[in-house]
Amino acid sequence: MIAIPLCSSADAAAQRVHLPRHIAAPSNAASSGQTMAASQTMGLTISLPIRNKQELQTLLQQQQNPSSPQYHKYLTPAEFTARFGPTQADYDKLIAYVKAQGMTVTRTHTTRMVLNVTAPVSSVNKTFAVTMRQYQHPTENRTFFAPNIEPTVDASEPIVDVHGLTNYELPHNYLVKASHAAQSYTTGSGTGGSFLGSDMRAAYASGVTLDGTGQSVGLVELGPYNISDVQNYFSTIGQPLDVPIFNVLLGVDGICSGLPSTGGCDDGEEVIDMEQAISMAPHLSALIVYVTNGPDTDAQTAFAQAAEDDAAKQISLSFGWGGTPETEPGYEQVFMELLAQGQNVFVSSGDSGAAVGTVGYPGNSTYITAVGGTDLTTTGPGGAWSSESGWVGSGGGWNPASAIPSYQTPVINAQNQGSTQYRNIPDVSMEANTDNYYCANGSCQTGIGGTSLSAPRWAGFLALANEQSNGIPIGSLNPQVYAIGQTSNYTNLFHDITTGNDFNSSSPDMFSAVAGYDLVTGWGTPNGQATLNVIGPASTSSPNFTLTASANSIPLTAGESGSTTITVTPTNGFTGAVTLTAKVIGGSYGPAGVTATLGQSSITTSGSTTLDVATTSATPGGNLLVVVTGSAQGITQTAYITLALPDFGLTMTPTTLYLNQKDYTTATVTAAPENGFTGKVKFAYNGSLPTGVDAGFLPNTKSDTATLALLAGPMALTGVNNPVAISATSGSLTQQYSSAALEVSAALGKWGAGTPVDLTSAYNAYAAFSDGTTFTTQGGLGGYAYSANQLSTARVLNGVQFNFGKANTENGVAGAGQTIALPKGKFSTLQLLATGIDGNQTNQALTVTYTDGTTQSFTQSFSDWYSPSSNLGEGEAIASQHRNEENGTEDTRQFNLYGYAFLLNSSKEVQSVTLPNNSDVIVLAATLVSPDLGTQVNLASAFNATGIYTDGSTFSASGGIDGGGAAYSANLLGDQTGSRSFIANGIAYTIAAANQPNVVYGAGSAIALPSGKYDQIRILGTGVQGDQTAQTVTITYTDGTQSKKTLSRTLTQSFSDWYTPAHYQNESEVYAMAYRDYNDGSQDDDTFNLYQYILPLDGSKTVQSIELPNNRDVIALAMTLVKSGFRPWQNGAGQGGW
C-alpha cells in the first residue's frame, strides 16, 4: 500500500491510506442511496500485512526447485507465523484499535494474518472516514451497500485490506445446467449415459489402486448443505460412502433451509463438489468442508482456517468474483502461506468461455491452480479414457493486472494466443460438459456441468498423488505441470487436448485448443498412474516413518473424556526426532468445548504417547475431527481421529408431497441414530404452509419415527414447490430438514359448481394416455402426453367442476383459431384447464362471442407444462408426478396443468369461444360458472404513489413503486389505457390505470372497507427495498374492536421484496414479470414479482377499515374481501399446527 497523506500535517497519525481496490458505490448506481442506520451491524474481515514478503517469495520458488536444499521442505503454521506472520505486538495493537473504534472482535487467528470483527455502521463510518449507504444495484435486481467515497485507514495501523465494506459484487459459482433438449449422453454409467464421479476416476485414474487413504481434501463453500443429498447420490448409484465428512462452520449455523425454487437454500454447488471429490478419492481419511459467508466471514477466512488447520494438502474452490492479486492482498498472503505449507488450491476457471483481459479472481492469482473444462468420451460405462475436446464454456484468458509467472513464460506462443505479459488460465482441466449425474436440493437429476466439477475432481486426484508420495507433500502443482509440459514425455503423462474452443460473443476467435499448452484446457487432463508417478513419485527405500492411532474413532457423550495411543514407527532406517502436534479441526471455529492434548510433543525415532481428548456439556453431537501430525526432515505424516458423539439425522419419504384440495397426504419422518444415539425425538412442523393447508405429526409424542400429515381444505391455495420444513429435538440436540416440497392440486371428483363445456367435437389432439400405453402412432403432444392416471376423469378447482375426455383417444384441443360453441346462459366467468407446450406461449388471443353479436377479447399467456412461468391470470391446477412417453415409459419429472379464469359480461348470454391460432396451446377442459369472486375494495382515494408506468415513460428518480425510480410495467400488467381486472386463485382483482396514482403504501391512515362479514382480506402487493418482515396490518370492526396479535386473528405479515420471493406465510406469487421500468425510460430485464397475501378476518364481525403497515416499502395495488365458505382446521388458514 502507498501511504497518501490526506492532510498537511507531518504527523504520521494524521496520515491515512486508501484500501487497495475500488470499494465506493459505482457511478452508475443511484446517485445518492439511503444512509444506513448508525446502529446496523456489519461484519468485516481485516487483513494484516505479512513480514519478509520477498524472503517468502524466494522460499516458494526454492520449495519447487529440485536443486534447492529447500525442495519440498514445507513449513508448519507455527514456523510460517514465526518467520512471516504479523508480530503479536502488531496483532494486539490492531485488536486494541478496533475495540477503541467501537468494534467487536469475533475471531482471532493463530497466524495473526486475519481478524474478524463486527461493528455498528457508526463505527465503520468513523474508522474508514465514509458514510455507508444502501443503493439499488445498476445491473442486478437487488440492493447493495457501499461507502459513499473510497475508504481510508489510519496509516499507523497494520491493515493491508478490509473485506465486508460492500456487497456490490457477490461471488458466483461455476455450475452450468443443461436444458433437457440438450442432453445426449452415451458413455457414462448414470441415467441415460450421464457421467458419475466414478466414471471420472475410471477415465483419469484407470487401474490406479490409490484411493486417498491417509489424505484429506478441503472444500471452501459459500453456503450450507444437506448431507442427505450427498448420501442420496451414493445410494442411488449403488456405491458406498466411506469418507467421513467434517464441517468447519465459520460464523454460520450450517442449516440449509428451504429449496431454491422457493427462494430457499441451494446446496447444488456444495454437494456436487463433495460428490466429485469423494468419487475421485473414495477412501479419503477426511473431507473437510469449510462453510463460510457468514455475517463476518468470507472465503478468505475459510482459506486462513484451512492454513491454520494444515490438514488438507489439496483444497478446492468453485466460486469466483472480480479482483486481481493487487486488489486482493489479503487473499494473496493466505495463498502464499498455503503453498509454503505444502497445500495446493484448485480454483474453477469459469463457465463463460474466453475472458480476454477480464479473468476474475482467484483464477488470476499465480498462487492457485486454475482448472478448466473438457468434453470427455470414455470407452463405455465405467470405461477408460477414449477422447476429449475443449469444452466451449471453459474459462480461459488473462487479466492485465496479474503478471505472468516465470513458469508460464516459455510456453506462450502464437498458436495458443496467450499473453506474454499476464497470467494465463487455465493450468489444467477435467471433464466439465453438462453430462453429469448429481443429487442436490432433495432430488437427483442429470445434466450438470461447469468447471465447478473440474476443480474438486483435481483436488481428489492430487490426494492420490499425495498418498503415493507418502508424507512428502507435493505442494504447488503449477511449476511441476509446466515443467512436464516442456518435456518429450508430456503426451504420455497428460491427455493433450487439441480440438475444441472456448469462443463466445465477446471473443469469437479466441481461444482454440492446440498442441501443448492452450487457453481452453491448459495442459489437458491427467493420464492415470503415469501422471501420479511423476507429480507424486513413490519411494520404497528412503527413510520414513508411520504415524498411527490405536483407535481412529473415540465414542464419547458430551461432557466425557477419552484417549488413544499415538505411535511413531520408523521405516527404511529412519532416525531422528518427530515433532508431534494435535489440533481440533476448525480452531476457534471448531466444536465447542473440545480439547486435544498429547502426552509429549516429540518422539525420537520410535515410540508412543497418549492423546487425551475432552468435551463439555456444550459439545455438539456428531463426528468431530482431531488431527495429529508428525513432522521430521521434510516428512509429514498424519493420523485422523474421529470423536463420535451421539447424534441423529432426519430423513423424509417421500421428499415431494402431492396433495389435492379436500384431501390429505402423508410422509414418513425418521430420526436416524448416529454414534449410538438411543434417545427419542420430538417432531415439529416449522415451515410456512399454503392458505387452507394444515400440518401435524402422528403420533405427536417423542419417538424415532412419525407420520407427517398434511390436510387441504376444498379452497386451499394450489401451487407448486411450497417448501416443507420440519425439526426434531432430543435434549440439547436439534436437527432440521427442509429439502422437501409440497405440490397442491385441484380436488378429485364431480362435486363442483358450474356448467362444463362439452369439447368432444373440438378434440384434435391426443393429450392424455393411461400409464404404460404405447402411442407412437397417435404421437400425443410431440411424442409425450399427460398421464390420464394422474389427471383422473374429473377435477374440482376452487369449487369449480372440470371434466376430462376419455383416455387414449383425442381428448385435448390444440389451438387452431377454432370457434367452440358454449352452453347457452349468462355467466360471470369462463374457466379453462390448459397448458402451453414447447415453452411459455405468451400473449395469446381468445375471443368470447355473445348471442347479441358482441365480442369480448382476452390476452393470456400459457406456461409450458414443465416450467411454470407465473403468468398473470394463471394458477396451478394439477401437478402431475410424471408424463407419459410414446414408447410406454414415463418421464418422471413433474409436469403441470394450469387453471385460467376469464371475466365475462354476466348480463349477456354466451355463444362461443375462439381459441388462439397456436397449436402449442392445449385445452383439456372448460367450464362456465358464476362463483363468488369476492368484494373488491375501492382504493382510488387511498392511492398515494404511482407504481405502474407504461414502457418508455419517464418519471422522477424519487418516484415509482419503490421511491427510487423503478416501477411495474403497465405493458405487462395490461393497464396501459385503463384499469385491468383479472382472477387469481378464484378471486377477482382490479389494477388501476397506469401513469397516475395507482398504488398505496402505509402512511398511518385507515382505508375504508365495504361493510360486511368476511373471512379473509386478500391484498395484491409487494415489499420493496428488501423484505419487509413482521409488519402489522390493523383491521377495525364496527363494534370498535381491533384484530391484533391473537392466535386466530394475528395480522402480522412479512412481505417479500419484489425481486426475491421469500415465500412467507400467507404469501403467494401472482405474476412473475420479465422486467421492470426505470424512471429514465429504460428497463431492468430481470424477473420482478407481484404477490397475493391472504389474511384471515373474524367472520363473526363487520369490517370497517384496514390500516396498512406504516412503512413506505410495503405496497398494495388492490384488495378484495372474501367469504371463504369453509373453516380451515383449528388454527386457521395454514397456521401449521394442531
Domain CATH for 277: 3.40.50.200
Q: What is the pLDDT of residue 298?
A: 94
Residue 1059 predicted with pLDDT over 80: yes
Q: What is the mean pLDDT of residues 399-406?
A: 96
Give the SS3 label for residue 334.
helix
Q: How confident is the model at residue 443 (pLDDT cuts 50, 70, 90)?
A: confident
Let me know whether 665 and 675 are in one domain. Answer: yes
Residue type, 783: G
Let me know whether 403 and 525 are in one domain. Answer: yes
Question: Is 1 inside a domain boundary?
Answer: no
Q: What is the mean pLDDT of residues 255-265?
A: 76
Mean pLDDT of the chain: 93
Q: What is the pLDDT of residue 138?
A: 84
Residue 181 predicted with pLDDT over 50: no
Residue that is last in its domain, among 628, 645, 662: 645
Q: What is the mean pLDDT of residues 940-968?
A: 96
Look up the CATH number of the domain holding residue 637: 2.60.40.3170
Q: What is the pLDDT of residue 263?
A: 67
Report the Cα 27 to chain-centroid distance in Å: 29
As a whole number of angstroms, the distance between CA 384 and CA 205 comes to 8
Residue 915 predicted with pLDDT over 90: yes
Over residues 988-1002, the pLDDT tens digits come to: 999 999 999 999 998
Is 238 exposed, middle or buried (CB count within 10 Å of its CB: 0-12, 13-18, 19+)? exposed
Q: What is the mean pLDDT of residues 337-352?
A: 98
Over residues 733-767, the pLDDT tens digits come to: 989 888 788 999 999 999 999 999 999 999 999 99
- Min mean pLDDT across 58-67, 133-142, 300-309, 507-516 is at 133-142
Question: Is 1131 inside a domain boundary?
Answer: no
As a whole number of angstroms, the distance between CA 385 and CA 589 comes to 42
As a whole number of angstroms, the distance between CA 340 and CA 334 comes to 10
Q: What is the mean pLDDT of residues 204-216?
A: 98
Look up the CATH number of the domain holding residue 670: 2.60.40
Question: Is 168 inside a domain boundary?
Answer: no
Residue 1088 predicted with pLDDT over 80: yes
Report the interhelical angle of 329-340 vs 77-84 (nearest 10°): 130
Residue that is last in its domain, among 535, 570, 591: 535
Compare 127 and 1048 and report the one with higher pLDDT.
127
The answer to whether the bond into 943 is cis (omega within 30° of 0) is no
Q: What is the mean pLDDT of residues 482-490?
A: 98
Residue 969 predicted with pLDDT over 90: yes
Let me know whether 526 and 585 are in one domain. Answer: no
Let me know whether 575 and 553 are in one domain. Answer: yes
Question: Is 452 inside a domain boundary?
Answer: yes
As a whole number of angstroms, the distance between CA 572 and CA 587 comes to 35
Total domain count for the chain? 6
As a whole number of angstroms, the distance between CA 948 and CA 266 comes to 32
Distances (CA, A) of 920 to 668, 759, 837, 838: 39, 18, 5, 7
Grid-cell match 369490517, residue found? 1103
Q: How confident is the model at residue 630 (pLDDT cuts 50, 70, 90)?
A: very high
User: Euclidean distance between the first and final Cα of the chain, in Å?
Assistant: 62
Let me know whether 389 and 421 are in one domain. Answer: yes
Let me know whether 720 and 787 are in one domain. Answer: no
As a whole number of angstroms, the distance between CA 1115 and CA 1022 comes to 5
Which distant-in-sequence residues (6+ apart) come within 8 Å of 806 by Cβ? none
Task: Give the full edge-to-edge strand order of the sheet including 41-47.
Answer: 104-108, 114-120, 41-47, 161-163
Q: What is the mean pLDDT of residues 30-40?
A: 82
Question: Is 76 inside a domain boundary?
Answer: no
Let me know whether 915 and 957 are in one domain. Answer: no
**Of 595, 599, 597, nearest in space to 614 by CA:** 595
**Contact by Cβ (8 Å): 610, 268:** no
Let me know whether 993 and 1086 are in one domain. Answer: yes
Q: How confident is the model at residue 57 (pLDDT cuts 50, 70, 90)?
A: very high
Q: What is the pLDDT of residue 438?
A: 96
User: SS3 sequence, 223-287?
Assistant: CCCCHHHHHHHHHHCCCCCCCCEEEEECCCCCCCCCCHHHCCCCCHHHHHHHHHHHHHCCCCCEE
Question: Is 1009 inside a domain boundary?
Answer: yes
Strands 114-120 and 104-108: antiparallel
As a whole number of angstroms, the distance between CA 1085 and CA 749 comes to 43
Joined grid coordinates for residue 28? 452508475
Report the interhelical angle of 268-280 vs 451-469 (nearest 10°): 30
Q: Is the dihedral of CA 409, 412, 413, 418 positive or negative?
A: negative
Q: What is the mean pLDDT of residues 577-587?
A: 96
Let me know whether 363 and 403 are in one domain. Answer: yes
Give the SS3 label for residue 409.
helix
Q: How confident is the model at residue 31 (pLDDT cuts 50, 70, 90)?
A: low
Question: Is 416 inside a domain boundary?
Answer: yes
Q: How confident is the model at residue 906 (pLDDT cuts 50, 70, 90)?
A: very high
Q: What is the pLDDT of residue 1127?
A: 37
Name the helix (H) or strand (E) containing 462: helix 451-469
Give the SS3 label for residue 77.
helix
As a whole number of angstroms, the distance between CA 727 and CA 725 comes to 7
Name the helix (H) or strand (E) containing 859: strand 855-862
User: SS3 sequence, 544-603?
Assistant: EEEEEECCCEEECCCCCEEEEEEEEEEECCCCCEEEEEEEECCHHHCCCCCEEEECCCEE
Residue 641, domain extent? 544-645
Q: What is the mean pLDDT of residues 251-257?
A: 87
Query: What percentage of the chain carries pLDDT values higher than 90?
Result: 85
Q: What is the pLDDT of residue 261?
A: 66
**Contact by Cβ (8 Å): 98, 105:** yes
Beta bridge partners of 444: 439
As a whole number of angstroms, the distance between CA 130 and CA 765 comes to 66
Residue 190 predicted with pLDDT over 80: yes
Q: What is the pLDDT of residue 179?
A: 64
Q: What is the pLDDT of residue 820?
A: 98
Residue 1048 predicted with pLDDT over 70: no
Residue 315 predicted with pLDDT over 50: yes
Q: What is the mean pLDDT of residues 488-517?
A: 97
Helices (H), 617-731: none
Over residues 781-826, the pLDDT tens digits come to: 999 999 999 999 999 999 999 999 999 999 999 999 999 999 999 9
What phi and psi values does residue 199 have, to the nearest 5 degrees? -65, -35
Residue 6 predicted with pLDDT over 50: no
Q: What is the pLDDT of residue 811?
A: 98
Q: What is the mean pLDDT of residues 189-210?
A: 96
Question: Is 1127 inside a domain boundary?
Answer: no
Residue 397 predicted with pLDDT over 80: yes
Let me know whether 832 and 924 are in one domain. Answer: yes
As a whole number of angstroms, the distance between CA 24 and CA 527 comes to 47
As a whole number of angstroms, the distance between CA 284 and CA 52 comes to 36
Residue that is last in its domain, among 598, 617, 645: 645
Grid-cell match 450450507, residue found? 224
Distances (CA, A) of 532 to 729, 1092, 1137: 47, 59, 58
Q: What is the mean pLDDT of residues 898-926?
A: 98
What does the DSSP 8-state code read for residue 212? -
Let me know whether 954 and 978 are in one domain. Answer: yes
Let me know whether 890 and 958 are in one domain. Answer: no
**Helix, strand, coil abundance in the chain, percent, nearest 5:** 15, 40, 45
**Of 544, 536, 502, nearest in space to 521 by CA:** 502
Give the SS3 label for residue 1047.
coil
